[in-house]
Amino acid sequence: MVFTYSVHREVTMLRPGWTKVTFRNVGAEAHQVMFARLKDGVHLGALAAAGAGDSPGAGAIEFVDMIGGVSYIDPGSDIAAMVDLPAGTVMAMCYVPTHGGVAHALLGMSTVLQVAGPPADPSSTAAAPATSATSDSSEVRGTIELSGDGYEIPSPLATGWYHVRNTDTDEPAFGLHELSLLHLDRSLDPGEVDQLVEALAANRTPAVQLDAVGGLGAVSAGFDGYLYLDLPAGDYLAVDFMPDPGDPRPHMLDGYHATFRQ
């Protein structure tokens, strides 16, 4: 089984700064694209050794800063996000597992990008969405926080851009989070939510019908990104699939999840 990412812009043209990523899933399974930069002094060889055979990615977390991207979406879907690309080596990868529990990244769905040159022009369309209160499509509608106490999600989520900030900086080693949004076919009681979370964490087919509608890929403590949302009315579950360094247990099993109605 082979996966590929199609980059529709020459790698040599990638510049540091805010970059709009439009992610279209043209495959037959759910996919994501998450971006990571190597921490200073870390080489790709060390990262590869740490992540070899590690489907949840727990072994490699300590060697990178996760800088966002798009959480997983169903086939035929698309979503946009803004990623603040740093100069240097940046990796794009999909850690959604196959039915057998193997991350797509370990089956070839990853790529290495070189980001170089002067920063992107902040006045260009690649700049972060504006924060002014206008009706412009680049307006930031609100802020979603990935805090130490869980998700802080405004209600309702009007169509537009959202600033997603990871403010869980009390314990930097354990503050990595993602915002994965799942559209549910109905509202769930607390017991059903717990059962759904357990099924997702174990990569089992859940009893509840759901659609993966995206979200923001993992961001390390103190990092942020922007996400464009256009959610239909209904019930949703936000979950964090990310683990702690060296521990494959996803944060959702420790209560990092939330339901909301749109």
Query: pLDDT tens across 123-159, in order?
Result: 544 577 865 444 455 689 999 999 999 999 999 999 9
Structure tokens at 169: 């900086």
Contacts of 43 (CB under 8 A, 6+ apart): none
pTM: 0.87
> What's the confidence (pLDDT) of residue 108?
86
The mean pLDDT value of the chain amounts to: 85
> What's the confidence (pLDDT) of residue 55?
62
Query: pLDDT tens across 88-128, in order?
Result: 889 999 989 888 888 888 888 888 898 987 775 555 445 77
Give, rounded to a whole angstrom, the gap between the first and last alpha carbons of the chain: 37
Answer whether residue 75 shows pLDDT above 50. yes
Spatial separation of the C-alpha atoms in residues 239 and 251, rounded to whole Å: 8
Domain ranges of the chain: 14-118+132-261
Query: pLDDT tens across 174-203, in order?
Result: 689 999 999 999 999 999 999 999 999 999
Residue type, 228: Y
> What's the confidence (pLDDT) of residue 8?
47
Q: What is the DSSP track for the chain? A: --------S-GGG--SEEEEEEEE--SSS-EEEEEEEEPTT--HHHHHHHHTT-TT-TTTGGGEEEEEEEEEE-TT-EEEEEEEEPSEEEEEE---B-TTS-BGGGGT-EEEEEE-SSPPPTTSTTSPPB-SSSSSTTBEEEEEEEETTEEE--SS--SEEEEEEE---SSGGG--EEEEEEEESS---HHHHHHHHHHHHTTPPPSS-EEEEEEEEEE-TT-EEEEEE-PPSSEEEEE---EETTEEEEGGGGT-EEEEE-
Span 35-62, average pLDDT: 70
- Higher-confidence residue of 70 and 38: namely 70
Query: pLDDT tens across 5-19, in order?
Result: 554 444 445 889 999
Which residue, 251, 213, 255, is CA-closest to 80? 213
Query: pLDDT tens across 190-239, in order?
Result: 999 999 999 999 999 999 999 999 999 999 999 999 999 999 999 999 99
The percentage of the chain sitting over the pLDDT mark of 70, rounded to a whole number, equals 81
Phi and psi, residue 111, nearest 5°: -155, 155
> What's the confidence (pLDDT) of residue 98?
87
Which residue, 164, 87, 157, is CA-closest to 128? 164
> What's the confidence (pLDDT) of residue 72?
92
Contacts of 147 (CB under 8 A, 6+ apart): 167, 168
> What's the confidence (pLDDT) of residue 125?
47
- Higher-confidence residue of 76 and 60: namely 76
CB neighbour class for 40 (10 Å; exposed up to 12, middle 13-18, buried from 19): exposed
